[in-house]
A and B are shown apart, each in its own frame.
Chain A
Amino acid sequence: MSTNTNQHPTLTGSEILWATLAGEGTTTVFGYPGGAILPIYDALRKFPTIHHVLVRHEQGAAHMADGYSRASGRVGVCMATSGPGATNLVTGLATAMLDSIPIVAITGQVSSKVLGSDAFQEIDITGITLPVTKHNFLVTRAEDIAPAVREAFQIARSGRPGPVLVDITKDAQQASALFDFDAAKPHAYRPHPMLRAESSSIREAVELIQQSQRPIILAGHGIVESGAEKEVIAFAEAHQIPIASTLLGLGAIPAAHPLSLGMMGMHGESWVNNAIQQADLLLAFGMRFDDRVTGNLTKYSPNSKKIHVEIDPSEINKNVRVDVALIGDLKEVLNLLQPLLSTDNGQLTTENPTHQWLDTINQSKGTAAVRDIINLPDNGHLYAAHVINDIWHEAAAAGRLEQTIIVTDVGQHQMWEAQYFKHEAPRSLITSGGLGTMGFALPAAIGAKTACPDKDVWVIAGDGGFQMTAAELSTIVQENLAINIAVINNGFLGMVRQWQETFYDKNYSASPILSPDFVLLAAAHGIAGANVSKRSDVTPTATKARTSNQPFLINFQVEKEDGVYPMITPGSALHEMVRRPTNDPLLELPEED
């Protein structure tokens, strides 16, 4: 590192990269070295403030950056070499793209002189990742590295967040250039001209809200991304509007809040889905009417007016036609809306305008309770729902609930988690919603624990998904991370099996899955573990894991052919739910000796 007269040092491209990452506040990078990124790894030792986590597969690196970002709100950074290293990132980038998670991926690329020649480990990664990134860059000159990386960070976190990839050729890493962090600052983030809530629309929204008798808020991930949790709660309380959550919206509103109803959608609570169908006004806050939350679109909430508050104009009228679109940052829009609502006509009516509506919903909640698996006594069989609910009780009893992050994989256990783990704090549930990426949980938990070392981090994964990325157990040990792992083991790809049971005449094609002894597998990595197959062992083992200060794996041997209910089958409307039969033979199995 030599310094020239301008006070700006002349650095190699590799050094510029690390200096820029450090300047953007990066303290952790998840990555895997290789030929085309060796100059960058060589320069790493000069930047002691940055900790590099060596992953076991680049997909893990992208999920870790993702989990890091979801847990902390900061931009996660991952790194891989050219060719196979870069292509291995793709699933992780797509996961982040579908859930609007800000991450920056750095990839090495072959030298610019041989670009396009099918050189060893050359792949057109900017071409490949075009649809799965918010934006990407190919950088071929050292002097372009700092501006590209700084712009990548800005794009990743501004507007609707998302992943950004920066591909840097090896000759750019090796060449030298002046490094001026401030001069590399991108132009101020300029919101698109479409990004402003029209005042006429705001007036229409106010009118609709004032006329409504049966309003409901649909709380999405945008609440967390906008940091609008307080505003949404204040809004709901002021107008006594019940709140239904999407999967990624869970935790934005404390589950214990009296207006919080729970999750909507395909495996949402029956009273939530019924309320959405009966409502006369939907207030969609930072959600995108995904097909998993609407059911049959032609029958979706047929009698309601719809107000959509959304930062991405391309989401408006994409799936559901809305009456009023308020485009902008949720927090800002609510701050515009709230004063108009309270001052119009003097005061709000003293009598709660929605109490009848809230009573109706509560009644339907009470009726649903009898079908709830959670209310069934211990009959000697271990149900995944009970396991997850007991882990929640255990954390709550220890007063650690708000300090607990659950990272789930994808499948039945993910839905049971959403139903039976009551999240009280934003960013306390990390899950792949949009892409539904199996294998997400373990690496994402490593990212979450790295970002929030003082929190209790639980992986809840199925036996199928866990095996997809189980190699990262070794990363946990190398990084000495006290992550608790609950494998919900039913010997099946459970969600696939449930669909085959419902729609394919119980033809269990390729859904039974053989697993290794997970406790032995953990032991091979030097990780302690336990097998649990009795309900009475769940809580003590969870306590042991939580308090061990070491990574701990619990293999929960659960009921093999359990189902997630309610369930909305494809083509059905939101209220046409398949409910757990009250005479479900599963629930009446006699106790075994």
Chain B
Amino acid sequence: MLHTFVALVQDKPGVLTRVASLFRRLNINIVSLTVGESERADTSRMTIVADAPENAAHRIRASLYKLETTIDVDEVNRSEAVVRELCLIKVAAGPNQPHGLHSRSQIFELAQVFRARVVDLAPESIMLEMTGSASKIEGLLQVLRESSYTVLEVSRTGRMAMRRGHHTTRVLKALGTPGNNPSAPTENPSPSAQDLTDDEILPTEFDEE
């Protein structure tokens, strides 16, 4: 079954290797792994989705804790967390496509229904950006394919998860310092944030599943 772990880790060279190596050693496949800066300075937050037996979750979590570079680990499930994924889809859409000149307007319509955004237009293709649960992204991809569009390229971030409601990590609670240094993180953007230009910043409002 799929397990989703959210880990707060030090932002240092080699930390990703330590986390990944742990899964490799247990012979567990990582379905997706996202890393980016967190609300704390010099600290990244990872969301790791792994396909592992049900009883392995405790051990994975405890092993993640054991890494000296780990600050906190949480395991979340769908009902108690918001889980999102960002996806870029390039679809063939030019006069030579089966839908001909209508293809673009039909893709625009589909995008609207799925709340995807058109972020790039080229003579022969359209790029869509979509944020949502994995199943919604798969839904859009399925509709595109079943409508005989050619999906040229798909790039997905993998899942990010955040526990719902008021939540402070236990470590922060124990330290009594909620948000060590809330203003600091912007100085050192993580690679995933760098890849987005200003007008591509994630929308802040998400529709519920």
Interface residues of A (CB under 8 A from B): 126-127, 130-131, 134-135, 138, 155, 192-194, 312-314, 316-318
Q: Is the CB of A312 within 8 A of B66?
A: yes
Q: Point out the residues of chain A lying under 8 angstroms from B55, CB to CB.
A: 317
How long is the Cα–Cα vector from A216 to B120 in the complex, in angstroms? 70
Q: Is the CB of B14 within 8 A of A126?
A: yes
How long is the Cα–Cα vector from A135 to B58 in the complex, in angstroms? 21
- With A127-B17, A193-B171 as given contacts, are A135 and B68 in contact (CB-CB < 8 Å)? yes
Q: Point out the residues of chain A lying under 8 angstroms from B58, CB to CB.
A: 316-317
Q: Is the CB of B171 within 8 A of A131?
A: no
Interface of B is mostly: helix
- With A126-B14, A138-B14, A193-B72 as given contacts, are A314 and B66 in contact (CB-CB < 8 Å)? yes
How long is the Cα–Cα vector from A317 to B54 in the complex, in angstroms? 13
Near A by CB (< 8 A), chain B positions 56-114 give 58-59, 62-63, 65-69, 72
Expressed in whole angstroms, the minimum distance between the Cβ of A416 and any Cβ of chain B is 34
Q: Is the CB of B14 within 8 A of A194?
A: no
How long is the Cα–Cα vector from A312 to B63 in the complex, in angstroms? 9
Q: Is the CB of A194 within 8 A of B21?
A: no
Q: Is the CB of B66 within 8 A of A130?
A: no
- With A130-B17, A130-B18 as given contacts, are A318 and B65 in contact (CB-CB < 8 Å)? no
Q: Does B174 contact A (CB under 8 A)?
A: yes
Partner of B21, one of A130, A193, A314, A317: A130
**Can you report 15 A-B residue pairs in the complex whose CB atoms are below 8 A from each other?**
A131-B21, A135-B68, A135-B69, A138-B13, A192-B65, A192-B66, A193-B170, A193-B171, A194-B62, A194-B65, A313-B66, A314-B59, A314-B63, A314-B65, A316-B62
Expressed in whole angstroms, the minimum distance between the Cβ of B10 and any Cβ of chain A is 11
Partner of B68, one of A134, A194, A316, A318: A134
In the complex, given contacts A135-B69, A138-B13, A312-B66, what are 10 additional A-B residue pairs having Cβ atoms less than 8 angstroms apart?
A126-B14, A131-B21, A134-B68, A193-B170, A194-B62, A312-B62, A314-B62, A314-B66, A317-B59, A318-B59
Expressed in whole angstroms, the minimum distance between the Cβ of A147 and any Cβ of chain B is 13
- With A138-B14, A193-B171, A317-B55 as given contacts, are A131 and B25 in contact (CB-CB < 8 Å)? yes
Q: Is the CB of A313 within 8 A of B65?
A: yes
Q: How many A-B residue pairs have CB under 8 A?
A: 38
Partner of A193, one of B13, B18, B66, B174: B174
Q: Which of under 10, 10 to 19, 20 to 34, or 35 or more describes the interface residues of B?
A: 20 to 34
Q: Which residue in chain A gives the minimum CB-CB distance to B170?
A: A193
Expressed in whole angstroms, the minimum distance between the Cβ of B57 and any Cβ of chain A is 11
Q: Point out the residues of chain B lying under 8 angstroms from A134, CB to CB.
A: 68
Q: Is the CB of A155 within 8 A of B68?
A: yes
Near A by CB (< 8 A), chain B positions 4-34 give 13-14, 17-18, 21, 25
Q: Point out the residues of chain A lying under 8 angstroms from B62, CB to CB.
A: 194, 312-314, 316
Expressed in whole angstroms, the minimum distance between the Cβ of A64 and any Cβ of chain B is 25
Q: Which residue in chain B gives the minimum CB-CB distance to A130?
A: B21
Q: Point out the residues of chain A lying under 8 angstroms from B13, CB to CB.
A: 138
Q: Point out the residues of chain A lying under 8 angstroms from B59, CB to CB.
A: 314, 317-318
Expressed in whole angstroms, the minimum distance between the Cβ of B173 and any Cβ of chain A is 9
Q: Point out the residues of chain A lying under 8 angstroms from B25, CB to CB.
A: 131
Expressed in whole angstroms, the minimum distance between the Cβ of A199 and any Cβ of chain B is 17
Q: Point out the residues of chain B lying under 8 angstroms from A318, CB to CB.
A: 59
Expressed in whole angstroms, the minimum distance between the Cβ of A396 and any Cβ of chain B is 41
Interface centre among B65, B69, B174, by most chain A C-beta atoms within 10 angstroms, is: B65
Expressed in whole angstroms, the minimum distance between the Cβ of B166 and any Cβ of chain A is 18
How long is the Cα–Cα vector from A562 to B199 in the complex, in angstroms? 78
Q: Point out the residues of chain B lying under 8 angstroms from A316, CB to CB.
A: 58, 62
How long is the Cα–Cα vector from A135 to B21 in the complex, in angstroms? 13
Expressed in whole angstroms, the minimum distance between the Cβ of A448 and any Cβ of chain B is 28
How long is the Cα–Cα vector from A155 to B65 in the complex, in angstroms? 14
Q: Which residue in chain B gives the minimum CB-CB distance to A325?
A: B58
Q: Point out the residues of chain A lying under 8 angstroms from B171, CB to CB.
A: 193
Expressed in whole angstroms, the minimum distance between the Cβ of A327 and any Cβ of chain B is 9
Interface centre among B25, B58, B174, by most chain A C-beta atoms within 10 angstroms, is: B58
Q: Which residue in chain A gives the minimum CB-CB distance to B68?
A: A135
How long is the Cα–Cα vector from A312 to B61 in the complex, in angstroms? 12
How long is the Cα–Cα vector from A134 to B68 in the complex, in angstroms? 8
Q: Which residue in chain B gives the minimum CB-CB distance to A126?
A: B14
